[in-house]
Structure 1
Amino acid sequence: MLLYTTVGTNDLERAGRFYDAILPLIGYGRQKEAQGEIGYGADGDERCRFWVVEPFNREPATYGNGATIAFEAPDRASVDAFHAAALAAGGTDEGAPGLRPFHASFYAAFVRDPDGNKLVAVCEKPV
């Protein structure tokens, strides 16, 4: 359904370090970099589906209140690693790894990146 998504940043270099530290843990990597943007894609996908960008209008980047970017993780250990790496890389905790009430196998961890964008890694596989 979704082609790609973006989050804004006020410091592309810092954001790149943050995302380079967490996204490989759940199967995504940096695939492209250009002036004002970095693109990430899933291993084996030729297209970038997640972009970190400096806002096109040159205004300061802000996060969306109520917006969350969800990444599919291959297993629960990857969710745990994503959360730990995010905190180590300058993110903030928005919900430690664990089961959520959405369904019996919804295992997730929520964080905010250094710009305040809310992210979640989710594994929906039963143990």
Structure 2
Amino acid sequence: MHQTALFIRHIPALYFAFANCVGLVLALLRGNRALVELYGLPSNIFEVPETWPVWQAGQGRIILLGLMMHYFYWRGQYAECDALLMGVAFLGFNDFLVTWDHGNLVWAWCRIVSSIAFASTGYFGLTQDRDRARKARTP
């Protein structure tokens, strides 16, 4: 039972780590256009090659967050993983505004709701099991 609970607590951090590295593989396999398509914007935006460098630069920053999550997770630095998860709230709000103005409204709501869910797991210390750490410090 304990191993199952341990695995469930780590799903948000692992999902964040792998999902934010998708752009790295996708850009290599399908090109920069795929990065813009993945975001949920209409074709009149992703078919303009002049926009691709901007998206590639932004995706590079997102990939860095995914790589940092991998680094912290595999080193057992779970408090740092939770801190990165809390930052997803800002990213989700930003994505919501962009897709609300220029993309699919369903995709916009999906981004904000899932971002709040992931950020809350970080806030409540799910990866590091804040309650267990608190009990261990209590004499």
Q: TM-score, normalised by structure 2?
A: 0.28
Q: Select the structure that is richer in helix.
A: 2
Q: TM-score, normalising length from structure 1?
A: 0.30
Larger radius of gyration: 2
